Structure 1
């Protein structure tokens, strides 16, 4: 019986850890909450008439990540992009070109070289998996040097750059990647994900692509975490009560055995 009580306590502890992580990341851009998954363990006991399935505790499974879209935080910054619908931004490690991760975090920084990067320096990729680079100057038809004045990203991912009045250049189209099962992507920290055999390989296309079902781009916004803090606190209280209840039952069982021995 002690093993059964212990499995219940361990399950409650994992539930508390997962819920606490959800609450801690409620303010993290594009964070996706997780749910703890359990299954019952049964032992088979044979008697003269049938095999009885007896409860033998609970088994913890890998937490399941919920990819429902979070609400939008309006920032009005030109390079803050939120995905309205399906898809992930592809980002490349500058120190390892073969390392590509995927994220819904569209808080984009512009480097001195005109590259679009994450806070960690990973480079955002376009619809053809090429790095996106924005020139700070161009030469117009009259051989005049024109300097960058504005950046606009359309709903279809088109990046249009203005160089003063009358000069506008499309430099790239933001790429979005979709997967067979996005819940099977492996979390690599900082709301970045890595492909696994279960998730399937990415299908890269432009936003608003009807063939792949990619969503649209909302410029001037960021996707908030899909965490309902009130609901998570209620779940945390239930998990704490489950742990407390299991520990009290186990203590009562131990006390009873001690009295019998004494």
Structure 2
């Protein structure tokens, strides 16, 4: 029995080490959110078991949960770099299959067709606006920058305001609002499914995405020319690494002790 109990501890320590290593590996990943491992004990008993004699039989991984606290903000100066000062997520749509994903990584770029995307062909979602910059629909659409304005003047640059309004400037000095960045929020952020590249997808645990404008409620305001860094604290992770290593060593020592006891019993019988 003690072998299996200690083996469960070894496996859990390995899982903990893997989660911590993943956090450390993504210290410099923009918009990354660290994870923590929670464990639970295992107890085998029947309805007739004496509670005074019930013994645990090990432990198991209860959950690997993400910490969505806001990371530090780094100024970059690029107009297409956006950081969220709040709990919202950028909503992006894949150009190939239309699947939705959500991210805290605001490092955007313009593609050859004028769409604002994340570099992986996931297009930033915005609310359509009128000439005055007021949202005309609550349904997000792909953010697209026209190459020329009505007078035929070429694109010269763009700005993104704190409320998410994307305004394009053309060579003749005119400006044109093209959309307002749509931010998403969820009933439970920890229920989001990681899909890599600092992206998440909604699940039944997170609930569906609710869309809103920057600066309203929990969505948070936007900071243009800045990016949110990873929220991993290296010092904290190294302490956790030492703790996980000691946990692994202690369980290995328990197995070694059980082996010695078994050998002693076998020697007595022979």
SS of the residue corresponding to residue 32 of structure 2 reads coil
Residues in 2 aligned to 1:36 and 1:192: alpha-carbon distance in whole angstroms: 20
SS of the residue corresponding to residue 113 of structure 2 reads coil
Contact 1:44/1:51 (CA < 8 Å) preserved in 2? no
TM-score by length of 2: 0.90
Query: What residue in structure 2 maps to residue 159 of structure 1?
Result: 166
Residues in 1 aligned to 2:124 and 2:157: alpha-carbon distance in whole angstroms: 19
Residues in 1 aligned to 2:10 and 2:252: alpha-carbon distance in whole angstroms: 7
Query: What residue in structure 2 maps to residue 135 of structure 1?
Result: 146
Contact 1:43/1:55 (CA < 8 Å) preserved in 2? yes
Instruction: Report 1:39-54 matches (<5 A).
Output: 39-44=40-45, 51-54=52-55
Query: What residue in structure 2 maps to residue 112 of structure 1?
Result: 112
Residues in 2 aligned to 1:31 and 1:163: alpha-carbon distance in whole angstroms: 35
Structure 1: 5+ residue runs without aligned partners?
none
Offset of residue 135 of structure 1: 1.1
SS of the residue corresponding to residue 18 of structure 2 reads helix
SS of the residue corresponding to residue 149 of structure 2 reads strand
Offset of residue 112 of structure 1: 1.5
Q: Deviations over 1:23-81 (max 9, x none)?
A: 00011000000000101112348999755332221111230111001011110000000
State the superposition RMSD in angstroms: 1.7
Residues in 1 aligned to 2:79 and 2:247: alpha-carbon distance in whole angstroms: 47
TM-score by length of 1: 0.92
Structure 2: 5+ residue runs without aligned partners?
128-138
Q: Which one is further off, 190-199 or 50-59?
A: 50-59
Offset of residue 193 of structure 1: 0.7
4+ residue stretches of structure 1 with deviation over 3 A? 43-53
Query: What residue in structure 2 maps to residue 204 of structure 1?
Result: 211
Query: Residue 236 in 1 paired to residue 241 in 2?
Result: yes
Residues in 1 aligned to 2:49 and 2:174: alpha-carbon distance in whole angstroms: 89
Contact 1:23/1:232 (CA < 8 Å) preserved in 2? yes
Instruction: Report 1:35-184 matches (<5 A).
Output: 35-44=36-45, 51-97=52-98, 99-127=99-127, 128-140=139-151, 145-164=152-171, 166-184=173-191
After superposition, the Cα gap between the structure-2 partners of 1:165 and 1:48, relative to the gap in structure 1 and judged at 3 Å, is closer
Of 222, 226, 244, 2:227 maps to 222
Residues in 1 aligned to 2:202 and 2:157: alpha-carbon distance in whole angstroms: 35
Query: What residue in structure 2 maps to residue 28 of structure 1?
Result: 29
SS of the residue corresponding to residue 167 of structure 2 reads strand
Residues in 2 aligned to 1:136 and 1:217: alpha-carbon distance in whole angstroms: 25
Residues in 2 aligned to 1:92 and 1:202: alpha-carbon distance in whole angstroms: 13
Q: Alignment length, in residue pairs?
A: 255
Query: What residue in structure 2 maps to residue 249 of structure 1?
Result: 254
Residues in 1 aligned to 2:216 and 2:73: alpha-carbon distance in whole angstroms: 21
